[in-house]
């Protein structure tokens, strides 16, 4: 168990921004998170509280507009300024594992993530991913209505969710992907916005979750993970080059490693968004190893090339112990 005592630096809470047009399935995704069995305390800030239909039986308590659910999640409306709402949440519930912010259908979710990255939240919040939900059946209409906004939303996506995929034939889905997927864009096709939690939350937080989350295993449905282990130090520049060019079937990477400049680094990759976060020490029980978990999804998934490239990131000392569990 990684306890706070072993890591005196404050641990930033990862933040996901969910964007997409009205009717694309954002609210369905939010409900999926609020009622889901992911084992995380997720705080959800929703744009329109009335649209979220929380089952009364799930509500454990209510205080100051903050609904606490029996699965550990909390939910509140985004009825004041984003900065103030997040400050208020951090003041009352600093123990949450992950924050999800729903953007309005007319907003560019990148602007919300910009705010999350303001200096005032430095060390407290970490921009994890922008997830943009698209209605596969109605996207052409959305584009026709607001072409610039639709393009901006998709352009800002670290992870693109093609929702209502069941309502559309395969050739149409492929055409949609071909037309709108930008280089590197990670796409998940869903029905009823049932996005695998392994992809949404990277299987939980290292800082708060049990150490066993390192043990790679199929986490949810067809999401698969593999763990790369390496003893020695890592050349960060080379690692950056590898992680920004992973095949689009690898959705996430997370791990801890020792950089060749002596720093301990937490790695967070969500789609195309990469962050190296300096931490005080490696999590307890990791020994001399560097560990990186890659999470992939899809039929053509293969980690072979990625693992080989990672082996090439060794710094001065190299003694790889790799294993795909």
Partner 1 sequence: MRVLYDHRSSHASQSGFADLVLINGRIYTGDPGMPWCQALAVARGRIVARGERADIEHLVGVETKVMDLGGRFAMPGLYDMHTHPDLALAPRYAEDLDIGIVDPTPDQVRDAVQAYAAKYPDREWIYGQYFVRYTFRQVGLVPGREWLDTVMPDRPVALLDRMWGTMMVNSEALRRAGIGADTPDPANGYLERDPVSGEPTGLLIDGAYALIHAAMPQTPVAVLRAAYRDGVRYQSARGVVATKYVHVCENRLGALQSLDQAGELTLRVEAAISWQDDIFPVRRRWELLAGERHYYRSARLNANAVKFHFDGTVEPRSSYLITPWDGANAGWSGKLNLTPEHLADMIWDMDRQGIRVIAHCTGDAASDTFLDAVEAVRRRPGGLNIRHQCAHSTILHGGNLRRFRDLNVTAEFSPVSWYPSKFVSGARSGYGPERLSRAYNIKGVLEAGGVAVIGTDWPVSPLDPWIALETLVTRANPWGEGEGRFGEPIPLPLAIDVMTRNGAWSMGIEHDAGSLEVGKSADIIVLDRNLFEVEPQGNIHSAKVDLTFLQGQLVHDRLNENPGAVWYGEPPRLW
Tell me which residues touch partner 1 (CB under 8 A).
64-66, 79-81, 83-84, 87-88, 91-92, 108, 110-111, 114-115, 117-120, 122, 148, 151-152, 154-156, 182-185, 236-237, 240, 272, 274-276
Residue 81: how many other CB atoms lie within 10 Å: 10
Rounded to a whole number of angstroms, the minimum distance from the CB of residue 135 to partner 1 is 19
6 vs 92 by CB, closer to partner 1: 92
Cβ atoms of residues 235 and 290 within 8 Å: no
Give φ, ψ of 107 to 5 degrees: -100, 155
Task: Give the whole-angstrom CA distance, residue 319 versus residue 243.
Answer: 20
57 vs 144 by CB, closer to partner 1: 144
**Can you list the alpha helix ranges (DSSP code H) found in the chain?**
26-34, 82-92, 109-116, 139-145, 147-155, 170-180, 197-201, 236-243, 304-311
88 vs 231 by CB, closer to partner 1: 88
- Residue 316, SS3? strand
84 vs 166 by CB, closer to partner 1: 84
Rounded to a whole number of angstroms, the minimum distance from the CB of residue 220 to partner 1 is 28
Rounded to a whole number of angstroms, the minimum distance from the CB of residue 25 to partner 1 is 21
65 vs 218 by CB, closer to partner 1: 65
129 vs 223 by CB, closer to partner 1: 129
- HSE at residue 42, side-chain half, CA atoms within 13 A, is 26
Task: Give the whole-angstrom CA distance, residue 226 versus residue 131.
Answer: 23
Rounded to a whole number of angstroms, the minimum distance from the CB of residue 263 to partner 1 is 10
Rounded to a whole number of angstroms, the minimum distance from the CB of residue 191 to partner 1 is 27
81 vs 312 by CB, closer to partner 1: 81
- Residue 214, SS3? helix
Burial of 212 per CB tally in 10 Å (0-12, 13-18, 19+): exposed
Q: Bin 72: left if φ > 0, else alpha if -120 < ψ < 50, else beta.
A: left
Rounded to a whole number of angstroms, the minimum distance from the CB of residue 300 to partner 1 is 20
Rounded to a whole number of angstroms, the minimum distance from the CB of residue 286 to partner 1 is 21
């Amino acid at each position: 168990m990684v306890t706070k005592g072993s890591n005196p630096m404050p641990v930033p809470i990862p933040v996901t921004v969910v964007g997409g047009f009205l009717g694309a399935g954002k609210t369905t995704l939010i409900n999926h998170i609020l009622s889901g069995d992911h084992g995380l305390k997720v705080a959800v800030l929703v744009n329109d509280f009335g649209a979220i239909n929380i089952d009364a039986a799930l509500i454990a308590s209510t205080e100051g507009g903050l609904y606490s659910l029996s699965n550990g999640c909390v939910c509140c409306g985004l009825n004041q300024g984003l900065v103030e709402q997040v400050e208020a949440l951090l003041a009352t519930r600093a123990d949450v594992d992950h924050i999800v912010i729903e953007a309005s259908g007319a907003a560019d979710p990148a602007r919300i993530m910009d705010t999350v990255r303001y200096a005032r939240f430095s060390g407290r919040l970490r921009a994890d991913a922008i997830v943009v939900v698209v209605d596969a059946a109605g996207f052409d209409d959305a584009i026709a209505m607001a072409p610039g906004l639709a393009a901006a939303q998709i352009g800002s996506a670290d992870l693109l969710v093609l929702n209502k995929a069941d309502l559309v034939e395969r050739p149409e889905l492929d055409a949609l992907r071909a037309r709108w997927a930008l280089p590197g864009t990670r796409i998940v096709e869903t029905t009823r916005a049932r996005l695998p939690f392994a992809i949404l939350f990277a299987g939980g937080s290292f800082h708060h979750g049990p150490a066993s989350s390192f043990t790679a295993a199929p986490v949810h449905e067809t999401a698969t993970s593999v763990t790369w282990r390496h003893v020695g130090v890592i050349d960060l520049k080379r690692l950056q080059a590898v992680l920004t060019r992973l095949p689009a079937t690898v959705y996430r990477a997370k791990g801890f490693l020792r950089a060749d400049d002596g720093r301990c680094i937490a790695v967070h990759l969500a789609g195309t968004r990469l962050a190296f976060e300096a931490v005080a020490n490696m999590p307890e029980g990791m020994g001399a190893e560097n560990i990186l978990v890659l999470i992939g999804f899809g039929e053509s998934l293969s980690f072979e090339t990625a693992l080989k490239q990672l082996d090439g990131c060794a710094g001065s000392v190299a003694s790889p112990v790799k294993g795909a569990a």
